[in-house]
Amino acid sequence: MAKEQIKKLLENSKKELGGNYDGFVKSIQDDLQTFKKKTLDKI
């Protein structure tokens, strides 16, 4: 592979991983909010 192809693949991977990370963080935050609401409702 040429250096340019490798650089392009790395950039695409970084973008995809960044998007996956952001989605994961949002999912965890949403789960925590839901858990807090359910816990407060039980009290």
Name the token pair of 31.
């789960």
What is the pLDDT, as a whole number, of residue 10? 94
What is the pLDDT, as a whole number, of residue 43? 79
Ordered DSSP codes for 15-35: HHHHHHHHHHHHHHHHHHHHH
pLDDT tens digits along 1-43: 688 999 999 999 999 999 999 999 999 999 999 999 999 888 7
DSSP state of 6: H
Alpha carbons 15 and 39: distance in angstroms, whole number:
36
What is the pLDDT, as a whole number, of residue 27? 95
* C-alpha closest to that of 43 among 16, 18, 35: 35
Phi, psi of 2 (to 5 degrees): -80, 160
The verdict on pTM exceeding 0.75 is: no
What is the pLDDT, as a whole number, of residue 21? 94
